[in-house]
Amino acid sequence: MSDTINVDGKEFAVDEEGYLANINDWVPGVADVMSKQDELELTDEHWDIIKFLREYYEEYQIAPAIRVLTKAVAKNLGKDKGNSKYLYGLFPYGPGKQACRYAGLPKPTGCV
């Protein structure tokens, strides 16, 4: 993967694993471009999770661990969405890694 991604003609720096270098650079187009690279089409359900992750980071300054994400999604978006089956269905590479990357967040703490 290159060290920048091009979103609407603007270059965004990313780290060696493809995570956005600066979380404050994020615009929704970042998620569009990254998901295209993964050949994944983003739906409203994907955006709910991406938005949720951004809000979580804004409040706590970390990307949530998967079980914390699952529990928090269950609480805020409903139990039918707050389970790993649903989240892996949306983000097959792992909701922690993949959704956080789309959201411009760093890789979750403790995630390998």
Partner 1 sequence: MSDIKKFMYLNRRAPYGTIYAWESLEVVLIGAAFDQEVSLMFADDGVYQLVKGCDTSESDMKNFMPTYRTLGDYGVRYMYVDQASLEARGLTADDLIEVAWEDWETEEEVDNIVEVVDSAKVTELMAESDVVFSF
Smallest distance from the beta carbon of 17 to partner 1, in angstroms? 18
Closer of 57 and 91 to partner 1 (Cβ): 57
> Applying CB under 8 A, which of residues 20, 52, 54, 64 lies at the interface with partner 1?
64
Write the single-letter amino acid at 39: E
Closest CA to 67 of 75, 101, 46: 75
Phi, then psi, of 80 in degrees rounded to 5: -65, -20
| Kind plus residue range of the DSSP H or E element containing 15 | none
CB under 8 A: which stretch of 3-11, 12-20, 54-62, 93-101 binds partner 1?
54-62
**Is 15 an interacting residue with respect to partner 1 (CB under 8 A)?**
no
Query: In degrees to the nearest 10, what's the CA dihedral of 80, 85, 86, 90?
Result: 180
Question: Between vectors from CA 107 to CA 102 and to CA 108, what angle results, nearest 5°?
Answer: 115
Site mask for partner 1 (CB under 8 A), range 74-93, x = bound: xx------------------
111 assigned to active site: yes
CB of 89 to partner 1, least distance (A): 21
Catalytic residues: 111
